Each structure stands twice: as C-alpha cells, then as structure tokens.
Amino acid sequence: MPRKLTRKSKYWVYIVQCRDGTYYTGSTNNIEDRIKLHNKGHGAKYLRGKLPVKLVYTKEYRYYKNALHRERNIKKMTREQKEKLIRNYNENDNHN
C-alpha cells in the first residue's frame, strides 16, 4: 500500500510584480528566500530581465497540495482578476 506524503511545514502562494508591471505567481515553503532568489536572477526564467520584483500578495497554506491548487487557479486568472485579488488583499490587510 503506497504511503501518503505528509509534509510538516508552511507553504505560500505568492504574486510578485515585475519591473515591467507584469505579475508572476508561484508557491514556496520559504517566501523570504524565494523573493531573494528571484531578485538575484535565479528561479523562474520568466522573471529574467524583469527584475527587481516586488511581493504584492501572499497566502499561507498548511498543505502543499492546497498551495499548488491555489497557484494553478491564480495562474488561470486574467490580469484584472489578479489586480482585484491584490487590491482586496492590501485593503483587508490579510498579510500572513
């Protein structure tokens, strides 16, 4: 019988705004290190040449699977929907 993978950590879905105004969505188990890596030019190829990035949205999850699901959903959103999500996040001060 296969074992279930359980991780005992926190996971974040995040959105960064690039220098050119575009958005990039990702997930990680260490938000601070991930943003530092992005700004050093490591990680997502999409971000190369669009640095620096600014963190504009985070959402914490207990389970990796839930974070990945949310990341996929955000990536399917239009720019307008992402901007609304970011605006609501900042207006409600929902920072984790």
CATH of the domain at 16: 3.40.1440.10
Residue 75: per-residue pLDDT: 97
CB 65 within 8 A of CB 7: no
* Within a domain: 5: no
pLDDT value of position 45: 85
- pLDDT at site 6: 56
Give the pLDDT confidence score for residue 94 in this predicted structure.
59
Domain total of the chain: 1
Determine the pLDDT at residue 82.
98
13, 37, 16, 45: which is closest to 27 by C-alpha? 13
> Does 3 map to a domain?
no
User: Order of strands across the sheet with 54-61?
Assistant: 23-28, 11-17, 54-61
Structure token digits, residue 63 = 């389970």
Per-block mean pLDDT, blocks of 10 residues, the chain (96 long): 64 96 96 94 86 96 96 98 96 69
At 5 the pLDDT is 56
